[in-house]
Amino acid sequence: MQLYDKDLLSVQEVRDLVEKARVAQEVLSHFSQAEVDKIVKSIASAGIRNAQRLAEMANKETGFGIVADKVIKNIFASKGVYEHIKDMKTIGEIARDEEKKLRSIAIPVGVIAGIIPSTNPTSTVLYKAEIAIKSGNSIVFSPHPSALKSIQETVKVIRQAIAEAGGNEDLVGCITIPTMQATDHLMKHPDVALILATGGSAMVRAAYSSGTPAIGVGPGNGPAYIEKTADLRLAVKRIMDSKTFDNGTVCASEQSVVCDTDMAEAVQKEMERQGAYFLSETESRKLGEFILRANGTMNPAIVGKSVQTIAELAGLTVPEQTRVLVARENGIGRGHPYSNEKLAPILAFYTEDNYEKVCELVRKILHYEGAGHTFSIHTEDDKMVEYFALRIPASRILVNTPSALGGIGATTGLTPSLTLGCGAIGGSATSENVGPMNLLNLRYVAFGRLDLEEIRKEVPSPEAVTQTLADINSASVELIVKKIIERLQNA
């Protein structure tokens, strides 16, 4: 009975939060661009001021990641996102084309439901609050239960920042009684216009099945190819830095390293020199049985944990200075646990005879898990970049950069974001790094340019059409005859 009451309370709380958010958004819809930008700037400043404290809270509550790296993520989600969006036109008329006599007006969607994961809880809240309000919307968060306290504290910081900037703090709300019923009710609430879902595959599927428009992102499982022209030391450094960043909790982080077979020894030696520990066959099998659950999904016990903690949990003994665990892998799919996404400092290691076979391997990995997400390549050959970019089913092709930071736009020119679209191939509504422009609709004002009589003048007469077809057919016959003669002459 107590659990039943909790469910009822959580559903009622959602109704109250959505109603308050709806009223606050209605007021915000009459704000000028400058007034909206003032609120967004206040949120960014508050995020920077509280970055350390919120990082410590998230780490303590979830047990995931590294405090120093979570500080970086909080600052990225605050300052990095703000610097990118601060000059965007998102309120009122945002574009005018005098030649086409066309005007574009930004229309907020309304109340957004924000699903927050436990891996990046505080940074994701800061980022989503900024882009939601920048585009004229309000947002109600559904927090992951294991990160409830740190998410609530982040929302408290944001609400205060909104009030200080002259806005209604109810523009941002958060469920305090997290239940499945509450999240389901939030996603299906008639006054919720859009779902912005960042989380596991089941949650994203639920968002898309809710009947409410949704932007959800699938899992990452990004392979990293070290091509033969790469600066090997630098490539390995970038991969190691990326995979150890916040203990691998960023979905764009590398999940496997691939190289040509004749480079395998050199790549392994360089990785070992920089702190990688290559597991023996026995160790690999033992850890492989631990990192996945019986149903084939990732064991949450490894998420965001250090190498030493993972080794201890799996009953392994590894050198104290080990930064990343590496397992040689020769297959993809069930029975090959290292071919899955591993949000921890664990990498699969593949080799293939040449780049064509590497490309096919990478395609298979991503189609198994991570389609549409991210692929990284380390090379000095631009032709290799073009070859893979045209063939790999990923929305982000990252070149010579740490994948975790490059994918979210911290070390690349991509939109700074903590929600990375995977496109249709990955089951997402967008392939973009989600930003404010994804959270608004465009209303077009189109002035007449032609009258019906002018259009009729452009339509050719039946006689003209007949003559044109005759000319085309004639030219085609002449061309065929010419080619036949050329072949006979060259025979």
Domains of the chain: 2-217+435-443 (3.40.605.10), 222-405 (3.40.309.10)
Distance of alpha carbon 24 from alpha carbon 138, whole angstroms: 7
Those residues whose C-beta lies under 8 Å from the C-beta of residue 306, and which sit 6 or more positions away, are 247, 345
Distance of alpha carbon 152 from alpha carbon 160, whole angstroms: 12
Q: How would residue 333 be classed by pLDDT, with cut points 50, 70 and 90?
A: very high
- 251: annotated active-site residue: yes
Q: How would residue 215 be classed by pLDDT, with cut points 50, 70 and 90?
A: very high
DSSP, res 420: B
DSSP, res 303: T
- Using the structure block, give the residue that is written with the tokens 């990688």: 276
Catalytic annotation, pick one of 174, 251, 259, 422: 251
Q: How would residue 466 be classed by pLDDT, with cut points 50, 70 and 90?
A: confident
Asked if the model's pLDDT at residue 481 lies above 70, the reply is: no
How many other C-beta atoms are found inside a 10 Å radius of the C-beta of residue 119? 27
Average pLDDT over residues 52-68: 97
Asked if the model's pLDDT at residue 326 lies above 60, the reply is: yes
Asked if the model's pLDDT at residue 1 lies above 80, the reply is: no
- Helix ranges (H only) for 165-214 are 180-188, 201-208
Distance of alpha carbon 378 from alpha carbon 429, whole angstroms: 29
Asked if the model's pLDDT at residue 284 lies above 60, the reply is: yes
List the one residue out of 108, 181, 174 whose CA is nearest residue 141: 174
For 324-379, the DSSP string reads: EEEEE----STT-GGGS--SSSEEEEEEESSHHHHHHHHHHHHHHTTTEEEEEEE-
Distance of alpha carbon 301 from alpha carbon 317, whole angstroms: 18
List the one residue out of 6, 126, 11, 8 whose CA is nearest residue 58: 126
Distance of alpha carbon 74 from alpha carbon 55, whole angstroms: 7
Q: Is 251 helix (H, G, I), strand (E, B) or coil?
A: coil
Asked if the model's pLDDT at residue 351 lies above 90, the reply is: yes
pLDDT in tens, 138-192: 999 999 999 999 999 999 999 999 999 999 999 999 999 999 999 999 999 999 9
Give residue 407's pLDDT.
98
